[in-house]
């Protein structure tokens, strides 16, 4: 069925980087934008950025700019999120989510209609 | 970036109707009809239940409805059921520099 399947939990030390993958199934991967969001324990959801899977265009939240990189492999229908210079405050569940409209034009974000199961990233020394 | 304000908790009895509020500003909720709502059960990923203020995705119960007035959006759940017990998050597009903002979530308890 139509789904997004993310990679497994990660434990990282402060200062390290983490890469989370998100594999899409049963829809045309390149017709949609993929977003990355995170949810720290007991906190609100935070949007991190998106990538248009077709042309590779990206946009990042100002909060994460310089530390986050979103890429995709169209042959594998997979999106990736890499977060660098990790600190304890980055401990969170990270989600990929598809944009309901499809490809993002003009930077307008509508809604997130299909979500991955989440990947727990723990940053601890 | 500014965030949307939601009540921390709301409760209701089975069969009742409840309304969850989501208050923003003229920078997001008040300027764009791009408010969405997500339901999240413990340990699960969020699920889209309302988009573009009042539209329901396919498969979402018609007991759920969304609306907006000025800078405040709302989600109404009628005929409360035990399965509605969850956390609910609102989200709004906030322009090209901020992109999107979320509310802090409302925990709905079905008594």
**Which string of DSSP letters, residue by residue, matches chain A?**
--EEEE---EEE-TT--EEEEEEEESS-GGGSEEEEEEE-TT--EEEEEEEETTT--EEE-TTTTTTEEEEEEGGGTEEEEEE-S--GGG-EEEEEEEESSSS--TT----EEEE---EEEEE--
> Could you say which of A45, A106, A107 has the minimum Cβ distance to residue B102?
A45
State how far the Cα of A71 lies from the Cα of A79, in Å rounded to an integer.
6
> In chain A, which residues have their Cβ closer than 8 Å to the Cβ of B9?
none
User: Mean per-residue pLDDT for B36-56?
Assistant: 97
User: Binning pLDDT at 50, 70 and 90, where does residue A65 land?
Assistant: confident
Q: Report which DSSP code applies to B63.
A: T
State how far the Cα of B107 lies from the Cα of B10, in Å rounded to an integer.
6
Q: Report which DSSP code applies to B51.
A: B
Cα–Cα distances in angstroms (integers) from residue A104 to residues A56, A111, B77, B80, B99, in the given order: 11, 11, 31, 36, 12
Comparing CA positions, the residue from A79, A74, A91 lying closest to residue A36 is: A79
State how far the Cα of A70 lies from the Cα of B89, in Å rounded to an integer.
24
State how far the Cα of A1 lies from the Cα of A25, in Å rounded to an integer.
7
Please tell me if residue A47 touches chain B, with a CB cutoff of 8 Å.
Answer: yes
Hey, of B44, B55, B99, which one would you mutate to test binding to chain A, going by the most A CBs within 10 A of its CB?
B99
> In chain A, which residues have their Cβ closer than 8 Å to the Cβ of B48?
100, 111-113, 115
> In chain B, which residues have their Cβ closer than 8 Å to the Cβ of A62?
1, 97-98
User: Binning pLDDT at 50, 70 and 90, where does residue B2 land?
Assistant: low
A4-62 per-position pLDDT tens digit: 999 999 999 999 999 999 999 999 999 999 999 999 988 889 999 999 999 999 999 99
Cα–Cα distances in angstroms (integers) from residue A11 to residues A17, A37, A85, in the given order: 10, 18, 14
The verdict on a CB contact (< 8 Å) between B51 and A115 is no
B52-96 per-position pLDDT tens digit: 999 999 999 999 999 999 999 999 999 999 999 999 999 999 998
pLDDT at B1 over 70: no
């Amino acid at each position: 069925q139509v789904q997004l399947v993310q990679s497994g939990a990660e434990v990282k030390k402060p200062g390290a980087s983490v890469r989370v993958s998100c594999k899409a199934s049963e829809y045309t991967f390149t017709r949609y934008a993929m977003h990355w969001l995170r949810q720290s324990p007991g906190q609100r959801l935070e949007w991190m950025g998106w990538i248009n899977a077709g042309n590779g265009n990206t946009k990042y939240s100002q909060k994460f700019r310089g530390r986050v990189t979103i890429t995709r492999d169209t042959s594998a229908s997979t999106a990736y999120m890499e977060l660098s210079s990790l600190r304890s405050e980055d401990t969170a569940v990270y989600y990929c989510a598809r944009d309901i409209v499809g490809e993002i034009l003009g930077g307008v974000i509508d809604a997130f209609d299909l979500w991955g199961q989440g990947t727990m990233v723990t940053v601890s020394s | 970036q500014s965030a949307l304000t939601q009540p921390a908790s709301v409760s209701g009895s089975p069969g009742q109707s409840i309304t969850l509020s989501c208050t923003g500003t003229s920078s997001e909720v008040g300027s764009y009809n791009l408010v969405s709502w997500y339901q999240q059960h413990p340990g699960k990923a969020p699920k889209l239940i309302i988009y573009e203020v009042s539209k329901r995705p396919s498969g979402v119960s018609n007991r759920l409805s969304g609306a907006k007035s000025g800078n405040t959006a709302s989600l109404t759940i009628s005929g409360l059921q035990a399965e509605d017990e969850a956390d609910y998050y609102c989200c709004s597009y906030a322009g090209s520099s901020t992109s999107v903002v979320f509310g802090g979530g409302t925990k709905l308890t079905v008594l």
